[in-house]
Chain A
């Protein structure tokens, strides 16, 4: 006479891992697919290629002409506020130095009397060549690439950071 063991069998099924119990395998697989799908959509929403990261920017060009070299007086630091750069001229050598403070991004200003750049936010100071010497700034101001356009204008490219020593000699 066959023994009635239904209860015991069921117990064995529950004890088995996902590999031995069909039901828990499909339960886990179902949840897995569900969560993976949600995760993929969330990444598309919040990830670095998602909703909050527009693909087209309406920002000023990083490369722009600032005028003829002779427009800049000799031995001067000219502040181009809207472009956030200084044009430094020494004789016939030109450099473009960033206005953006290397601490947390305020706009530094040129103090003619002291011959240094100063930041109003937390007091960082830089020499005329952009090297930091006081305050919390961790590194010198960026120097940007300069060149001459075909019609002889000075062109600055803020997407190209160059060494401090580089000068455009005209």
Chain B
């Protein structure tokens, strides 16, 4: 005779492996639902109770969430790109072309989505900031998270900027030329900026030099852009995002009721 569904279900769920992963059963009671969220490493990021206003899509448009999603997507595609891209002046451009021309299975999809998603992240983070501003969500007690957010915005722009140089093509090369020359005009830090003489900044000891690792865009600049783009900036942004989300949980969403 065939075993009935209940028996099969019990076979699957009544053992140590299952119970060590899913610690609570399905009873649809308020207490059990909270326990499910609390005891699961993924779900516990959510509060155990969410008010109606918090899930109202037209309050946040989920713009911060979208930014985070795009960031995760960039991390995934970026790591895959790292398998084929070499940050070397003689190889970078050719590696990028190989990816674009599908010399690597899914190469073009990877590179193009990584690039478009990079643009998308800049857009979503700006709209997220605009939303927070328009709903007045930066007010007490959320000033701290606003400041964390401003740093996240800067990191997002820097990620975009450093990634721009990596194809080692004309577009990126001259964009970084222009961008780092702007850095060279920073007050108190750049060799062409105000007070450069006072502090003794010259082309080989100012902030532009520190970014490029030289006086012009050469191999060290490509390597630096690569390390900042793939490790330094994502690590900082990831850490600050944890802080950002933790504060959101502690302060609660601003859209009440």
Residues on A lying within 8 angstroms of B by beta carbon are 48-49, 52-54, 57-59, 104-107, 121
Contact = CB atoms under 8 A, between A and B. Distances in A.
Interface stretch (B29-37, B95-103, B121-129, B204-212): B204-212
A149 B213 CA distance: 32
Interface in B157-214: 174, 177-178, 181-182, 201, 204-206, 209-210, 213-214
23 contacts: A48-B201, A48-B205, A48-B206, A48-B210, A52-B210, A52-B213, A53-B209, A53-B210, A54-B214, A54-B220, A57-B214, A58-B219, A59-B214, A59-B215, A59-B218, A104-B177, A105-B177, A105-B178, A105-B181, A106-B174, A106-B177, A107-B174, A121-B174
Contacts of B215: 57, 59
A143 to B, nearest CB: 17
Interface range on chain B (Cβ under 8 Å from partner): 10 to 19
Contact of B181 (A58, A59, A104, A107): A104
Interface of B: 174, 177-178, 181-182, 201, 204-206, 209-210, 213-216, 218-220
B209 to A, nearest CB: 6
A107 B171 CA distance: 13
A121 B178 contact: yes
Given A48-B205, A54-B220, A104 B213 contact: no
Nearest to B224: A52
By secondary structure, the A interface counts as loop
Contacts of A49: 205
A53 B205 contact: yes
A106 B178 contact: yes
A104 B205 contact: no
Contacts of B209: 53
Given A54-B213, A57-B204, A59-B215, 20 more contacts: A48-B201, A48-B205, A48-B206, A48-B210, A52-B210, A52-B213, A53-B205, A53-B209, A53-B210, A57-B215, A58-B218, A59-B214, A59-B216, A59-B218, A104-B177, A104-B178, A104-B181, A105-B178, A106-B174, A106-B177
A153 B209 CA distance: 32
A58 B216 CA distance: 11
Contacts of B213: 52, 54
Contacts of B178: 104-106, 121
A54 B215 CA distance: 11
A-B pairs with the 3 shortest C-beta distances?
A104-B178, A105-B181, A52-B210
A135 B82 CA distance: 40
Nearest to A107: B174
A105 B213 CA distance: 17
B214 A104 contact: no
